[in-house]
């Protein structure tokens, strides 16, 4: 039996006079690696922020599911790890200190957090950098630290916002391998990307979002079949053949970064 973890029902999210998502309904199940694929402004990040409770829907509901009963999405936070596009690391701390701080706030003792961190850090070829200050880290190193931080408390669900965006080829490949490994071990990963080839390589299921609506949802082979194409890129083009909107909501990234930080660390401080 498929276990549902998150339920999005008839959700619309608007910013002033711009609708970022329109009447979206979708369920997310245990053990899936799900890619939210779409262009800039499609609504991918808005959906991720709704799934972790950072945003409230304008209408409709976003709920978690515990023991087959719907619960407020905020009750799912201890079960969710988040890697936002703005990593929000404390620059005065080492990578491990950033991770340890987060795990302590989630009630995880240091030994358990270190065991998990060291295991995943080795998969990312990052174990020798854990005790380095994050000040001056490259984007790839910050991204790896944020990923390890999100995994330190053993979340049931991992939410990733453009996890390989801006990374070099080697770092992006390591992140993809880790995501696939988590999926193979029964983890649930939901992440936004505009990289269709990456989604096809890593994901069990792809949700195509365009102009704030879900255009397709299924395994890569199912999407190609429904569009009558034998290539996923051609299927994507066929399913999103109307012109992309130009009035996508503009976000105050400083404000959003601060909100991510409060959610992830429940505190303030100097971040990068």
In-domain check, residue 268:
no
pLDDT tens digits, 195-205: 899 999 999 99
Per-residue burial over 171-192, b = 16 or more CB atoms within 10 Å of its CB, e = otherwise: bbebbbebbbebbeeebbbbbb
Tell me the CATH number at 8.
3.40.50.300
In-domain check, residue 269:
no
In-domain check, residue 240:
yes
- Using alpha carbons, select from 35, 29, 70 the residue that is nearest to residue 204: 35
**Structure tokens, 95:** 């990578």
In-domain check, residue 251:
yes
Q: How many domains does the chain have?
A: 1
Look at residue 17 in the predicted model and tell me its pLDDT: 86
In-domain check, residue 116:
yes
The residue range of the domain holding 205 is: 4-262
| Ranges under pLDDT 70 in the chain | 245-272
pLDDT tens digits, 130-139: 999 999 899 9
Q: Can you give the pTM of this predicted structure?
A: 0.87
């Amino acid at each position: 039996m498929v276990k549902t973890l998150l339920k999005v029902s008839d959700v619309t999210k608007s910013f002033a006079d711009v609708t970022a998502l329109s009447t979206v309904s979708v369920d997310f199940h245990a053990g899936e690696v799900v890619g939210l694929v779409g262009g800039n402004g499609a609504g991918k990040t808005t959906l991720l922020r709704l799934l972790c409770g950072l945003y409230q829907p304008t209408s409709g509901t976003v709920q978690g599911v515990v023991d087959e009963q719907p619960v407020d999405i905020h009750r799912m936070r201890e079960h969710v790890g988040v890697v936002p596009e703005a990593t929000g690391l404390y620059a005065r701390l080492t990578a491990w200190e950033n991770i340890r701080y987060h795990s302590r706030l989630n009630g995880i003792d240091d030994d358990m957090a270190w065991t998990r961190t060291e295991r995943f850090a080795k998969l990312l070829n990052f174990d020798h950098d854990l005790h380095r200050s994050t000040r001056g880290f490259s984007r790839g190193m910050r991204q790896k630290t944020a990923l390890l931080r999100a995994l330190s408390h053993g979340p049931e669900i991992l939410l990733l916002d453009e996890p390989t965006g801006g990374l070099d080829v080697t770092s992006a490949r390591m992140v993809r391998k880790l995501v696939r490994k988590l999926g193979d071990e029964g983890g649930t990963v939901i992440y936004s990307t505009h990289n269709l080839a990456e989604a096809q390589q890593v994901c069990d299921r792809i949700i195509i979002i365009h102009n704030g609506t879900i255009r397709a949802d299924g395994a890569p082979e199912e999407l190609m079949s429904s569009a009558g194409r034998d290539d996923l890129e051609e299927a994507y083009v066929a399913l999103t053949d109307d012109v992309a909107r130009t009035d996508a909501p503009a976000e105050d990234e400083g404000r959003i970064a601060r909100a991510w930080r409060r959610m992830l660390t429940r505190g303030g401080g100097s971040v990068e």
